[in-house]
Structure 1
Amino acid sequence: MQLINNTLLDQVTEAAKESPRLRMNHNFHNAMEAPVQRLLNALEPGTKVPVHRHRHTAETYILLRGCIRVIWYDDAGTETGSALIDPKQGEYGIHIPEGQWHTLEVLESGSVILEVKEGPYVPLADEDVMRKD
């Protein structure tokens, strides 16, 4: 068992702040081949999450602390919507359907999401990362 508490969130957040990518995962699944991927994702302002999609799985974010904006796009790369996720405002998370182009912007230092999606882990293929010219 592992408690998800401020101590753990602080540890993952500190690792994110020290990472060149300004984000850090803390996996709860035992292997990348696990049928369910469950992880904390600590995110700092300035991290670059490319516009991407997961063609074969949906993805759910629950924001444990901080503030993020999730932005989604159509196949042509046009922004079609966004949602401010802020627990202080009663907006706790978002479910992103499979195949939906999306990214996020971190608006507050110390933001941590609990992320859940079907496994196994598959790195994004080139065709699943939107290239904006």
Structure 2
Amino acid sequence: MGRMRAAFFDPTGARYGIPTWPWRMAPPHLLTVRQLTARGLRPGGQYVQGQVLWRSRRYHARGGVRAAYLYDQRLALPKRTATPAQLQALAKALAARRTCPDCKTDAGYVLPRHLGVCLDCAETSERRAA
């Protein structure tokens, strides 16, 4: 184990407060939220079970160390699925974000908030103002 990797090896949590491992050295049953999601799971209210630390040149403002929090796969619960009513409400809300209040058409994209209207209506009102 390299010197840098050894600096983050703390499976008891004595140094960092929670069990800590270097990159790619965590036990296989501990997963990140993204890894749980890929398996159709969610943390399910459990606390962070450990962390993975590694050095990154991009994050020098934070001491050059990044962290990924780990959750126990054995305690994870299945992801919840939306009800048909929730999916219908979501579709309605997304359609409202695409509908121009001036011309009442579905623009096919989310309207820019700074304009408040579709690009065609914004261009037309800009021409009138000039």
TM-score category, normalised to shorter length: under 0.3
The structure number with the bigger radius of gyration is 2
State the TM-score, normalized to the length of structure 2: 0.18
Larger strand proportion of the pair: 1
Task: Give the structure, 1 or 2, with the largest relative contact order (CA under 8 Å, sep 6 or more).
Answer: 1
